[in-house]
A and B are shown apart, each in its own frame.
Chain A
C-alpha cells in the first residue's frame, strides 16, 4: 500500500494497542470514546480467516484521523466545562439574592449537561446538590424535579434501591401538590426499580397505580408506556397471554398519539413476546416494523441496536446463523459509531454465543472482548457478570467443563456481591444443570 506521494503508507494501529497506550484516567474518557468511534475494520482482514472473529480490538485507528478529530472534541469538552462553570456561578448568584429555585434550576442544568456527556455519576452529584438547595424551599417543584432527575440517573446507574427512595419521595410530594404528571413518572420509576430487583408484586402495584393516574389524566402516551412496562413484567413472570394483552393496548394508545419512538419500543416488546411464543416469522416481521418506526422517530441509536440485537437473537434461535451474524455486524457498526459500549458488550456476547452454537472454539475471542469492554470502558460488574454466564455456557457447550464452572462461579460471586437475586438464582440453576 502506497500513498499519493509514492511512500509506503503505514498500516493503521490496532485499537487493542491504541487503548493499551492510553492512561486509565477519567479525564481521557472522551478521547477513549473518540478513538473507538472512529476506528475502522482493517480491509485486509475482511476476507481473511480472522475476518469472522473481528472485534473492536482488532479494528484499526489512524493517528492522523484522530488528530483531525481532536479540535472539535476539545471544543465540545470546553463547551461542556464552560456550561458547568457558568451553571455554578449562576447558582451562586441566585443564592446571593436568596433565589433558591433559581439556584436549584442552575445545578440541575449542570447535571443534565453531565448526563448528555455520558457522565452519570457526576450528574448524580449535581442533582444531590440541587436537591439539598430545593429541600428548604416553600415551592416544592424544584425538589420534585431534583428527585425525578436523581431517580432516573440512579436507575441508569443500576442503583435501584436509591432510585426507589427518590421516586418514593417524589410521589409523596407530587400527590401533596396535586401534580399528576410527576406522580405518574414517579410510579413508573418505582415500578422500574422494583422490576430490576425482581420484586414482581411491587412492580405490578406501582405500574398499576401509575396507569390509573394516567387514565385519570387522559395521558395516552403515559398509559401506553405503562402498559408496555406491565407487558415486560408479565413476560418476565412467564404470563405471556397477559403480556400480549398489555402490548395490544399499549400499541393502540401510542399509535393514537403517533409517537414513533414509543411505537418502536412497543413493537420491540411484541417481537420478543412473539419469539417467546415460538411465532418466529411474526417476530421477525414485528422487529422489522419496529426498525421502520425507529427510523421515523428522533434518532435513538440505543433503541435501534436493541431491536437489531433482538432480531439477531431470534435468527440465532432459529438456526439462521448467517443472517444473525449480518444483523449483529450492523448493530456493531451503530454501537461503535455511537459509543454504546454496554450494547457492544451485548453484541459480542451474542456473537460468542453464535460461535458456540456452531461449536467454533475460537468464538471465545468475543467473550474476551466483551469482558475487556465491560471492565475497561463500561465498568459495570453486572454487565461483566452476565458475560461470564454466557462464557461459561459457551465453554460447557464445547466440553470444557472445568472452565465453564469457573466462569459461572465467578458470575455468581459478582451477582451475590451486588445482591442481584434473580441472576444468582439463574446461575445456580445453570450450575446444577451442569452437575446433573
Chain B
C-alpha cells in the first residue's frame, strides 16, 4: 500500500475531499496536511512513498522548496505537484527536477490516477545483480574498465610508467586523469617516493607560485610561516600538475625554468634549491589551441607532451558503465555501512541514456548519492538525482543500438519473469519456454 501525504495550504477542504475518495479506492494510505511546518514535521516523523504538494501563488519558488525539503526525507518520497495555473516554464522546471507529475487544480480523478500509476510503475522495477568487477588498484583509487578504449590506455601506461618521461594526460573533465597519473607513478621507478598533486585551476592565481615553489616567512602578507612548496614535497617522486592550462604565462615561465634547470627558488628566498621530480601534467583543454591564442607557452607544451595519453569519455567506454556502477556501489556501500547487491533495470536504463558530461566523476557522484538514499539492497530509479529521473520520459521503449548486450537483455528478462513467478523456477521456465535445468544454469551464469 502506498503511503501518501497531501499538502495544501489554501483551498484544502474541497481538494482533500476528492483525494480522500479516490485514495480509498486506489489502495492508498492517505494523510492530509494544511500547514507547511506540520508537513515538514510529518516528513521527518514517518516514511512516505509520495507527496502531493499544491503550489501557492509563487509556484516556481514553492516547487524548488519542495524538492529541497524532500531531499533529506526518509524513504525518498516521490513528488507530485499541483498548481492552479501551471505555466510551460513550471512544467519544464518540474520535469527537470524529476517531479512525477504536474497536475492542475482543481484536481481530476484521471490525472490523480495517472500520477499514481507512474509512481507504482517505478515500484515494479526488476533488480539486476551487480556484476563482479575486476579492478586494478592504484593506491586508494582503482582503474576499472575493460572497454577497448581503456585497454589501449592501459597498454600505453604500461609502456611509459617505467621510464622517467614526462607525460601529458588529456581528457575531458572526470575521465580519471589523476587516477591514471597515480597509476603511472605507482608502476614506475619512483613508486616508493611521494606522489604530489596540485590542481592549478583550484588555487588562486596569486598563491599558485608559493604553493608550487614554497615561500619564506614574511615573504608577502599572509606568509605567516615558512612553507615548503610542492616541488620540494615531491622530491625524488612525482609531481602531478592538474589543469595546467589554467596557469598564468608568468608562472608557466617559472615552471619551464624549474623543469630545465632542475632547481627552484622559494618566494622571498635567496637560494636556488635543486629538485628531482618526475613531472606529469593533465588538462581538459586543447593546449594547441591555447598556444595559438597565446595563452600557453609552446616550449612548455613540448616539455610536457613527451608522451601524450588521451583518456576516453565515458560514452566511448561501452559497458564499462555497468562495471563502474557496480564498483562504486560496492565502494560506497562499504563506506556507509550498507549492503547493495543489485541495480534495477530501470535505473540502469536511466544511467545508460544519460549524457555524462562529467564522465566517471559524475557517475561516481550519482552512485554515491544513490547508495546513501537507498533503503534496501537495490539501487532504484527513485534513488537517482532529479536531473536523471527527469530524463525518464526520453527513454526509448526498448534498448537500442549497442547500449545493451544480448546477455544483459536475457538476464534482465529472466529476472523479470522470476519476479513475476515469485521466484518459482518451474513456472518461470514454462513462461520462458526453456527447460528448468537450462534456466537454473542461466540463473547461475547471470548471478540471479
Instruction: Give Cα A292 to B36, complex, Å.
Output: 7
What residues of B have a CB within 8 angstroms of the CB of A55 in the complex? 204
What residues of A have a CB within 8 angstroms of the CB of B41 in the complex? 285, 289
Query: Are B201 and A292 in contact, with the CB atoms below 8 A?
Result: no
Total residue contacts A-B, CB cutoff 8 A: 114
What residues of A have a CB within 8 angstroms of the CB of B40 in the complex? 285, 288-289, 292
Does A243 belong to the interface (CB within 8 Å)? no
Which one of B69, B368, B372 lies within 8 Å of A291 (CB-CB)? Answer: B69
Total interface residues on A, CB under 8 Å, equals: 43
Which one of A16, A403, A407 lies within 8 Å of B204 (CB-CB)? Answer: A16
List the one stretch of A40-48, A77-85, A105-113, A185-193 in contact with chain B. Answer: A40-48
Instruction: Give Cα A372 to B207, complex, Å.
Output: 12
Instruction: Give Cα A293 to B68, complex, Å.
Output: 14
The contact string, 1 if C-beta is below 8 Å from chain A, for chain B 295-310, is 0000000000000000
List the one stretch of A31-39, A214-222, A363-371, A418-426 in contact with chain B. Answer: A363-371
- Contacts A291-B68, A365-B202 given; indicate if A48 touches B37 (C-beta within 8 A): no
A:355-390 near B, CB below 8 Å: 362, 365, 368-369, 371-372
Query: Are A48 and B204 in contact, with the CB atoms below 8 A?
Result: no
The contact string, 1 if C-beta is below 8 Å from chain B, for chain A 256-276, is 000000010000000000000
Query: Are B357 and A47 in contact, with the CB atoms below 8 A?
Result: yes
Does B222 belong to the interface (CB within 8 Å)? yes
The contact string, 1 if C-beta is below 8 Å from chain A, for chain B 388-415, is 0000000000000000000000000000
What residues of A have a CB within 8 angstroms of the CB of B207 in the complex? 365, 368
Query: Are B359 and A47 in contact, with the CB atoms below 8 A?
Result: yes
Does A296 belong to the interface (CB within 8 Å)? yes
Shortest Cβ gap from B337 to chain A (Å): 11
Does B334 belong to the interface (CB within 8 Å)? no
Does B199 belong to the interface (CB within 8 Å)? yes
Shortest Cβ gap from B413 to chain A (Å): 34
What residues of B have a CB within 8 angstroms of the CB of A371 in the complex? 222
A residues near B, CB below 8 A?
16-17, 44-51, 53-55, 57-58, 263, 281, 284-285, 288-289, 291-293, 295-296, 320, 322-323, 326, 330, 362, 365, 368-369, 371-372, 402-403, 405-407, 410
Taking A49-B242, A49-B243 as given, write out 8 further A-B residue pairs in contact, using a Cβ cutoff of 8 Å, ordered by the A residue number: A17-B205, A48-B173, A48-B284, A51-B173, A291-B69, A295-B61, A403-B227, A407-B224
**A-B pairs with beta carbons under 8 Å apart, 16 shown:** A44-B284, A45-B173, A46-B173, A49-B361, A50-B202, A50-B242, A58-B202, A289-B41, A291-B69, A323-B72, A330-B68, A362-B199, A365-B202, A365-B203, A406-B225, A410-B224
Which 4 A-B pairs give the minimum distances between C-beta atoms? A47-B358, A285-B44, A53-B202, A50-B201
